[in-house]
Homo-oligomer: A and B are copies of this chain.
Amino acid sequence: MSGYREESLHRIFQSSFVRRKGILGPGSDCAQLTPPKGRHLLQTVDQVIAGVHLEVDATPKAYARKLLRRTLSDLAAVGATPWTVSWTLALPPDWTATKIRQLAKAFLKEAEHFDVPVVGGDCSLSQHVVLTCTALGLDNGRVPGRDGARVGDIVLVTGKLGDAVNSGAHLLPQPRLKEGRRLVEQYKPHAMMDLSDGLARDLPRILQASEVGAEIELTALPLGDSLSANQAGFESAVGEGEDYELLIILSPLQAKLALQDRILRKVSVTKIGTIIEGSKLRWLENGRAKRMQAKGWEHQWG
């Protein structure tokens, strides 16, 4: 096939999407959205970039799946239910019709899996692959921010930490939508976020916003299956990004209840530490202070 044009792409985009009342699109300049009464909208945006978030030669399917799942993980972090997504594709000229179609179909299929309509998109030429996805979610109760952690609160995480990259799980992150929603509906998190840059980078964001400190017990961390309970294992668990697990701050009473919750226990929820006075993040090993090297992931320019 010689040359694959934008117009053909538009047809793929319009060919299939989850249909839902109050949502018109894609198809023209704008999607038309009518939010259900009495619900707040939560909006987030994320990117997947060749050579940064995925290998340059990752399959179209891998690009599509990671893009949508990373984005939905931000909705999980506020306990919201996905309502719509839209996306942008910046693709190099050597991408073939087959490859572009695979990407579009994989994205639409993945959206169907998460039962969320794709309401729009934009595709443009580029020197390398940059994909973005914007999601709107519907709230399921008070949205936990990052600034509500109080001294005495309990720090918990879902799932396991630290071997997403090694195990390949980072290719197919599992947004904790069900768990985020359950937490917001039942346990009023004082703060919550998803772990994308590693505990050592992400937890301080809550601490700073809440003006508190925290003590984390390394031996309590739910280590990824490939990790051992030694220094190297702990460094990975707190320093590696891409876990996409929930980091949750609950009052002691709510934490006790949440640890027994049947829905939450399916993915495992673990108490890993406590909110303390001050502003520092302190690592403990069996209760004794421990220095850690891990800094977590951060983009850097200039």
Contact = CB atoms under 8 A, between A and B. Distances in A.
Interface of A: 1-7, 25, 27-35, 37, 40-47, 49-53, 74-75, 77-78, 80, 84, 86-88, 90-97, 99-100, 119-128, 130, 132, 134, 136-137, 139, 143, 145-146, 193-194, 209, 298-302
B122 A47 contact: yes
A9 B87 CA distance: 23
Given A28-B78, A28-B193, A43-B119, 14 more contacts: A3-B300, A3-B301, A5-B299, A6-B300, A27-B145, A30-B42, A30-B137, A32-B78, A33-B40, A45-B134, A52-B125, A86-B134, A100-B302, A125-B299
Q: Could you say which of A33, A80, A122, A193 has the most chain B C-beta atoms within 10 Å of its C-beta?
A: A122
A96 to B, nearest CB: 4
B143 A32 contact: yes
A302 B97 contact: yes
A2 to B, nearest CB: 7
Nearest to A97: B302
Contacts of A3: 300-302
B32 A44 contact: no
A218 to B, nearest CB: 24
A215 B182 CA distance: 59
When all copies of this chain in the complex are counted, the total is: 2
Contacts of A92: 301
11 contacts: A3-B300, A27-B146, A28-B146, A29-B74, A29-B77, A29-B193, A43-B84, A49-B90, A49-B125, A93-B302, A125-B301
A145 B134 CA distance: 23
Please provide the 4 A-B residue pairs with the shortest distance between their CB atoms, ordered closest to farther: A30-B42, A130-B130, A96-B302, A33-B41
A43 B120 contact: yes
Contacts of A95: 301-302
Nearest to A80: B30
Given A31-B43, A32-B143, A126-B130, A299 B6 contact: yes
Contacts of A52: 124-126
A5 B96 CA distance: 36
A62 to B, nearest CB: 17
A139 to B, nearest CB: 7
A5 B75 contact: no
Contact of A301 (B4, B119, B136, B143): B4
A121 B122 CA distance: 17
